[in-house]
Amino acid sequence: MADPYEFLTRRLQGVVPSDGWRSDDPDWAGRTRAALRRCVGAVDEPWPDAAPELGELQGGMGFARRWVSFPSREGWNASGWLLVPVGLSAPAPAVICLPGHGAGADAIAGLIDEPYQANFALQCIERGWITLALEQVSFGHNRSANHGGEPSSCLLDSMFALQIGETMTGWRVRDAMAAARFLRATPEVDENRIATLGISGGGLTALYTAALDPSILAAGVSGFFTPMAHSILRFRHCPDNYVPGLARSIDVPDLAGLIAPRWLAVENGAEDHIFAIEGFRVACAMAREIYSAAGYPERFESAEFEGGHLFEGAGLLEHLAAAFSS
């Protein structure tokens, strides 16, 4: 009997991305960023003219925490936990923290213990950074009502997005862009020092947002930075990872070329069962070439650690600290 996966793998091997990184083309980044925006969709709509909504302030933790909501698209508000250190004396750096599949923003902001996410928004607040734990579309508080008891509503929502010519990637990137816009309007935030940070599906959003929004200073990506052939086209993944036609345009390592010379740090577990370590090494080799060609090799950092699909974070946070102090 014929194996469709083997057939599709052979077809993928024959695909050469038309917009792959080129060091000899000074117009590559602008042209490719525009192509990527068209591919993921949903990121170029006009910004709604609406004020953010601020929830009740929670204190007594060494930081203040409140639920915030702010316009992202007409008829849709992005939302999440805003964490602000106590005793800020000057505009501070800010990090948009993006959870992977699971309990959502609660699991990175200290309300739920989900070990693979390691409450990494709290790790950012401990460094004195204003932190926005953004609730991704279809996760946590932003699950669709008909999620069927599943931890996320990604399956139905992602298919719906595709059916109307949009993508879950575009929806989530748009919310992260809205989060950056919200933070830039927050008096305590240094608008020139905003970073994205995420694990797994949150790593996807962190990476794509930095690639598509040049105002983002730095990105930290855990458990996602691998070529498609080593990850979403090799193992079973949630449909929220897929963008129609993307492999014919660009591969994941090429996104580093849309971020350079801004700062990028990536990490991967040696036993990660859905983002293969050999693919991570291939992607990192390409990213190092990209950053060397840009003249800023020190602005790319990679780390491997013993373990599986989880947030380790030490190297990522140190790299963001270096970006913020540059």
Closest alpha carbon to 102 in 92, 116, 90, 91: 116
Tokens of 88: 């800020």
Type of residue numbered 19:
D
Structure tokens given for 86: 């106590």
Please give the Cα distance from 242 to 238 (Å, whole number): 8
Tens of pLDDT along 276-288? 999 999 999 999 9
Q: Are 57 and 290 in contact (CB under 8 A)?
A: no
Distance CA 66, CA 55 (A): 5
Task: Give pLDDT tens digits for 129-170.
Answer: 999 999 999 999 999 987 777 788 999 999 999 999 999 999
Q: What is the pTM of this model?
A: 0.96
For every residue of 259-282, DSSP letters joined together read HTTSEEEEEEETT-SSS-HHHHHH
Tell me the average pLDDT of the chain. Answer: 95
E strand segments, 106-159: 130-134
**Complete edge-to-edge strand list for the sheet that includes strand 263-269:** 53-54, 63-73, 76-85, 130-134, 92-98, 189-199, 218-222, 263-269, 300-305
316-325 pLDDT, tens digit each: 999 999 999 9
Q: What share of the chain is helix, strand, coil (3-state, %, to 5)?
A: 40, 20, 40
Confidence label for 306 from pLDDT (cuts 50, 70 and 90): very high
Q: What's the DSSP call for residue 24?
A: T
Domains in the chain, CATH or no CATH each: 24-325 (3.40.50.1820)
Please write the tens of the pLDDT for every residue from 6-51: 998 898 888 889 999 999 999 999 999 999 999 999 889 999 999 9
